[in-house]
Amino acid sequence: MNITTTIREDGVAVLAADGRINLVTAPTVRREVQRVVDEGHARLTLDLSAVEFIDSSGLGALVSGLKTARTAGGDLRLAAASEQVASVLRLTNLDRILRVYPATDDAYRD
């Protein structure tokens, strides 16, 4: 799995991951979120369009990322989740806490 991070003009950090977010790759997600927040970008969007699979450890990384962002006064939002990712989020009701937006541009319309 790889994560490509870009900072948009409005200060929102877009983290685009690909492949599988699982037991092995989840720590990478946590570290990347921490790094971006430490650099002062507390508003993050995680672009999941290229993520094909997520397991419970991956979910843990998302929630941990949310905590990191919220603690810094920001937020973590998800965009463009694939079918498997969406069903795992639904199964745990996390989709009600971590809203999934259709595209990264929609995540901070509010």
Partner 1 sequence: MNRGLLRLVCVLAVLAGLDYVAWRWLASVNWSAWWIAVPLVIAETYSLIDTVFFAVTMWRVKVRTGPDAPPAGTVDVFITTYDEPVDLVLTTARAAKAIRYPHSTWILDDGDRPGMRAAAQREGVGYVTRSDDWVDKPRHAKAGNLNNALFQTDGEFLLILDADQIAEPQILDSTLGYFADPKVALVQTPQFFSNVDEADPLGNQAPLFYGPIQQGKDGWNAAFFCGSNAVLRRDALMELGIVGYVRDVEQTVRLSLRSADRMLAKAERSARSDPDAARLISEVRGHVEDANARLRAGESVGEVTYRLQKQVDEVSRSAVRSDVAAMAEDLRAIAALPVQADSELGAFVVDEAALDRLAERDWSPLGAIDSVQRIADTLAVDRPGQAQPVMPMATISVTEDMATAMQLHAGGWRSVYHHEILAWGLAPEDLGTMLGQRLRWAQGTLQVMLKDNPLVKRGLTAGQRLMYFATMWSYLSGFASVVYLAAPVIYLLTGIMPVTAWSVEFFARFLPYFILSQLMFLVAARGLKTWRGQQYALALFPLWIRACWTAAANVWFGRKLGFVVTPKERSGRAPIPWRQIWPQLTAMAVLVIAAVVGVLRVIAGTADGLGTLVNTVWVIYDLVVLAVIPRAALYRGPAAHAARKEPRLR
Query: What tokens does 74 get?
Result: 């920001």
| Smallest distance from partner 1 to CB 29, Å | 13
- Per DSSP, what are the bridge partners of residue 7? 13
Q: Which is nearer to partner 1, 8 or 20 (CB)?
A: 20
When binding is defined by CB under 8 A, the residue of 9, 10, 73, 109 that contacts partner 1 is: 73
By CB under 8 A, which span of 6-14, 32-40, 41-49, 65-73 interacts with partner 1?
Answer: 65-73
What residue spans of 41-82 are helical by DSSP H? 56-71
Of 53, 78, 41, the C-alpha closest to 63 is: 78
When binding is defined by CB under 8 A, the residue of 88, 100, 104, 107 that contacts partner 1 is: 88
By CB under 8 A, which span of 8-16, 39-47, 90-98, 100-108 interacts with partner 1?
Answer: 90-98
101: exposed, middle or buried (Cβ count in 10 Å: 0-12, 13-18, 19+): middle
Contacting residues for 31 by C-beta, under 8 A, at least 6 apart: none
Site for partner 1, rule CB under 8 A:
20, 22-25, 27, 55-57, 59-60, 63-64, 66-67, 70-71, 73, 75, 88, 91-94, 96-97
